[in-house]
Structure 1
Amino acid sequence: MAFELSPLPYNYDALDPYIDSQTMQLHHDMHHQAYVNNLNAAVDKHPELQSKSPEDLVRELNSLPQDIVSAVRNNGGGHVNHTMFWQIMAPNAGGEPTGAIADAIKDNFGDFESFKTRFNDTGTKQFGSGWVWLVRTSDGKLEVVGTPNQDSPITGGHFPIMGNDVWEHAYYLKYQNRRAEYLKQWWNVVNWDEINNRLSMSTR
């Protein structure tokens, strides 16, 4: 298999009470695994692509063979997005941002509360399934954006620094239709150390 699902970096129940263990198990073991399986099935049709990373495939989406573009957009995007998602959460995390990301948020959004409000509002208003992101755009700016389905900001030339999954499978068992509450509680598990790493990567 060209691509594999990495284990969660913590136990299923590590993010309780903000994200429940059943959601984590289903989300990681079933949904993410399905994206990996479907991505492998797509790339299997074109062995010359098997040496590329998932990020490369998503970045070069428009140059891929036409018969697998949709599969890579949906499943390659799902794999890349979720791989980041597990890493930017952690137990005993959350709170105010620290380090370079704190300065970047202040410089670009005024203060952390203003940034959270914009991020949560974008996530709440994302129609249907999708994601809300903090990205470094292709021209070097930091912006909050939403994307539908499993579309990755990478396809548009942007670097995803952090993102929250607003598909119903990410929150419905615990929060039902209360997406705004899920978005609010999610800040309690945000791993600012990893987000600082990604901020640094975004400038390379």
Structure 2
Amino acid sequence: MPIELPALPYARAALEPHISAATLDLHHGGHHRGYVDEANRLLEGSGLEGLALEDVVRRARGRLAEQAAQAWNHGFYWTCLSPRGGGEPGGRLGELLARQYGDFARFRDEFNRMALGLFGSGWVWLVQRPDGSPGIVATRGAATPLTGADTPLLACDAWEHAYYLDRQNARGDYLEAFWKVVDWEAVVRRLR
């Protein structure tokens, strides 16, 4: 089955003023579409053609693995954002973060530290470990926790195309905007 570019779960201008429609056009319609198209091209004759995208990511190697992972990472990223997002998570997730990091502010500081310390392009993830505890993972390039034992809960795209149009090279400013549109309800639904 071919990999498809998922539609954004909100209107292209819905995240403004935090993330612009122009950035979404470039990021979703350009970069994400490019990963999907290239993954589909590489999928032909790979023996993995009938698999779901998640399974392609887990089983592929080389360039197909990279392109499929980027397609999956981006599709997941869009579901982490909402025009009604922001604030702090409550309930079980809030309790898990407080237990692991002391409070939400310390969690956010650690997440930002990881994102700002990531040299080059990549992703920063809130994951749930197999023991149920939360963790923060930074991955380079197309790497994704989907291929390991952790359950991805939240993704922050730290590639420049996620913020360059809006913020030039100011990753810290992008992170401030990111926190204003995080969809905590979606994150909570992913908890095991």
Q: For the Cα contact (< 8 Å) 2:120–2:140, is it kept in 1?
A: yes
Q: For the Cα contact (< 8 Å) 1:57–1:76, is it kept in 2?
A: yes
In the superposition, the TM-score normalised over structure 2's length comes to 0.94
Secondary structure of the residue aligned to 1:33 is helix
Going by fraction, where is helix more abundant, 1 or 2?
1
Instruction: State the partner residue of 1:196.
Output: 188
- Work out the number of aligned pairs and report it: 192
C-alpha displacement of 1:157: 2.7
Deviations 1:122-144 (A, max 9, x none): 00110100001111234543211
Question: Identity, % of aligned pairs?
Answer: 39
Matches within 5 A, 1:25-104: 25-46=25-46, 48-61=47-60, 69-104=61-96
CA distance in 1 between partners of 2:86 and 2:24 (Å): 18
CA distance in 2 between partners of 1:141 and 1:105 (Å): 8
C-alpha displacement of 1:196: 0.6
Instruction: State the partner residue of 2:98.
Output: 106
C-alpha displacement of 1:102: 1.2
CA distance in 2 between partners of 1:145 and 1:18 (Å): 24
Deviations 1:183-202 (A, max 9, x none): 12211001011001112xxx
CA distance in 1 between partners of 2:80 and 2:155 (Å): 8
Q: For the Cα contact (< 8 Å) 1:134–1:142, is it kept in 2?
A: yes
- Coordinate RMSD, CA, aligned: 1.4
Report the more deviating stretch, 157-166 or 96-105.
96-105
Q: For the Cα contact (< 8 Å) 1:54–1:80, is it kept in 2?
A: yes
Structure 1 gaps of 5+ residues are 62-68
Q: For the Cα contact (< 8 Å) 1:161–1:195, is it kept in 2?
A: yes
In the superposition, the TM-score normalised over structure 1's length comes to 0.89
